[in-house]
């Protein structure tokens, strides 16, 4: 399973001429070529643009393209200006005008993790998550407690939907009363004042000599430390890496709490994935529902295992 959708984004030449000119001006020199990136879940252009002066990673969306993609691009512009320099690419330029918007970013020499997953890559990611989890978030970022609900509180809806309920692993159907109880703890579990990326997965990570940088920041929040971790690990398992429970201790070496302490977040994310994968396809974002479905499997399996551990501990 790939980390992002294998899909065709708009081409460089599909961008309005004025937008392309402004992007090249931000890099400097004359346009030489572009190398498009075709993964991810956005209807915007993405790729490395090379000029006679240098190169940059560019994300751009015309005004009349997918409205959500344009909104997220503009949101990311605001977030990147507030982040520590070691966790995200440097901003080289921004374009926001009638024709559309563009982010011109440092082109990082590095690789996406997961081909295959390695211990070194996981340690690099853990150190970056430690950094953002110990960094106070700018006060202007939205609070996770306000914005991750109802996204992470879908068990009540799942319990009322015959198809969603029937499709769950049997052990989780039996645990539904407990899942509904845990759901009441999600808001408090995600509340805090640390930086939260809210979309950490392999294709949103680049690992180079300076460590792991997180890409795509439009969903950044102000929340509890380490709540990105439960959202990352199902994608590690889904893309051929170690299981969620196998890899969690590695992150504890970098300061992550025990997994059991984050059960409301783990449960909430599993409910989000299982609910979202059953929603109608978004024509501009092909592959999104299949991606969510593939990640829901490890998340639900992990949740069931944690609930069984909790039950055994309670019975002692």
Residues sharing a CB contact under 8 Å with residue 203, sequence separation 6 or more, in sequence order = 2, 3, 4, 39, 40, 112, 215
Residue 171: predicted pLDDT: 92
Indicate the number of domains in the chain.
2
Burial degree of 11 (CB within 10 A; 0-12, 13-18, 19+): exposed
Average pLDDT, the chain: 93
Distance CA 15, CA 31 (A): 14
Across residues 63-81, what is the average pLDDT? Answer: 91
Residue 150 lies in a domain: yes
pLDDT band at 244 (very low <50, low <70, confident <90, very high): very high
Task: Tally the residues of the chain.
Answer: 316
pLDDT at 114 over 80: yes
What percentage of residues in the chain have a pLDDT greater than 70? 97
Q: Per-residue pLDDT tens for 123-132?
A: 999 999 999 9
- 52 lies in the same domain as 127: no
Residue 110 lies in a domain: no
Distance CA 254, CA 125 (A): 10
- How many other CB atoms are found less than 10 A from the CB of residue 188? 11
- 174 lies in the same domain as 310: yes
- 225 lies in the same domain as 293: yes
pLDDT at 257 over 60: yes
* Dihedrals phi, psi of 197, to nearest 5 degrees: -75, -45
pLDDT at 3 over 70: no
Q: Write the CATH number for 199.
A: 3.90.1200
Domain boundary among 40, 72, 105: 105
- 257 lies in the same domain as 288: yes
- 85 lies in the same domain as 159: no
pLDDT band at 238 (very low <50, low <70, confident <90, very high): very high
User: Are the CB atoms for 50 and 58 separated by under 8 Å?
Assistant: no
Across residues 157-169, what is the average pLDDT? Answer: 96
Across residues 205-232, what is the average pLDDT? Answer: 95
* Dihedrals phi, psi of 191, to nearest 5 degrees: -75, 135
- 220 lies in the same domain as 140: yes
Residue 5 lies in a domain: no
pLDDT at 217 over 90: yes
pLDDT at 235 over 80: yes
Half-sphere exposure (Cβ direction) of 305: Cα atoms closer than 13 Å: 12
pLDDT band at 8 (very low <50, low <70, confident <90, very high): low
**Greater confidence, 285 or 52?**
52
pLDDT at 7 over 80: no
Q: Per-residue pLDDT tens for 88-111?
A: 999 999 999 999 999 999 999 999
Q: Per-residue pLDDT tens for 170-191?
A: 999 999 999 999 999 999 999 9
* Dihedrals phi, psi of 78, to nearest 5 degrees: -70, -40
Q: Write out the residue range of the structural domain in which residue 244 sits.
A: 119-315
Across residues 125-141, what is the average pLDDT? Answer: 96
Q: Per-residue pLDDT tens for 279-314?
A: 999 887 888 999 999 999 999 999 999 999 888 888
Residues sharing a CB contact under 8 Å with residue 227, sequence separation 6 or more, in sequence order = 144, 189, 190, 192, 196, 262, 265
**What are the distances in angstroms from CA 50 to CA 27, 43, 104, 204?**
8, 22, 12, 21
Determine which of 17-26, 230-239, 283-292 has the lowest per-residue pLDDT on average.
283-292
Residue 247 lies in a domain: yes
User: Exposed e or buried b for every residue in 90-108, given b needs 16+ CB within 10 A?
Assistant: ebbbbbeeebbbbbbbebb
Residue 84: predicted pLDDT: 86
Distance CA 177, CA 159 (A): 9
pLDDT at 153 over 80: yes
Determine which of 38-42, 113-117, 134-138, 221-225 has the lowest per-residue pLDDT on average.
38-42
SS (H, E, C) 9-56: CCCHHHCCHHHHHHHHHHHCCCEEEEEECCCCCCCCEEEEEEECCCEE
Distance CA 297, CA 181 (A): 22
DSSP for residue 202: G
pLDDT band at 259 (very low <50, low <70, confident <90, very high): very high
pLDDT at 63 over 60: yes
| pTM, rounded to two decimals | 0.90
């Amino acid at each position: 399973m790939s980390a992002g959708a294998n899909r065709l984004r708009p081409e460089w030449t599909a961008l309005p001429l004025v937008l392309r000119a402004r992007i090249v001006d931000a890099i400097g020199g004359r346009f030489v070529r572009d190398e498009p990136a075709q993964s991810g879940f956005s209807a915007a252009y993405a790729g490395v643009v090379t000029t006679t002066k240098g190169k940059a990673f560019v994300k751009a969306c015309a005004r009349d393209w997918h409205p959500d993609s344009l909104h997220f691009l503009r949101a990311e512009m605001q977030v990147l200006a507030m982040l520590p320099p070691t966790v995200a690419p440097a901003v080289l330029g921004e374009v926001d005008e009638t024709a559309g918007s563009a982010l011109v970013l440092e082109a990082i020499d590095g690789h996406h993790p997961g081909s295959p997953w390695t211990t070194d890559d996981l340690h690099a990611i853990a150190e970056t998550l430690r950094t953002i989890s110990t960094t106070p978030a700018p006060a202007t970022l939205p609070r996770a407690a306000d914005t991750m609900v109802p996204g992470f509180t879908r068990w009540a809806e799942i319990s009322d939907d015959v198809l969603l309920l029937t499709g769950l692993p049997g052990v989780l159907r039996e645990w539904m009363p407990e899942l509904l109880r845990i759901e009441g703890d999600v808001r408090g579990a995600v509340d805090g004042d640390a930086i939260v990326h809210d979309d950490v997965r392999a294709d949103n990570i680049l690992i180079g000599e300076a460590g792991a940088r997180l890409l795509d920041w439009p969903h950044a929040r102000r929340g509890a430390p380490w709540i990105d971790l439960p959202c990352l690990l199902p994608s590690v398992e889904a893309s051929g890496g170690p299981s969620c429970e196998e890899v969690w201790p590695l992150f504890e070496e970098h300061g992550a709490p025990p997994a059991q302490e984050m059960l409301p977040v783990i449960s909430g994310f599993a409910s989000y994935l299982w609910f979202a994968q059953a929603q109608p396809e978004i024509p501009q974002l092909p592959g999104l529902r299949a991606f969510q479905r593939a990640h829901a499997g490890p998340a639900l399996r992990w949740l069931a295992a944690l609930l069984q551990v909790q039950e055994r501990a309670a019975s002692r």
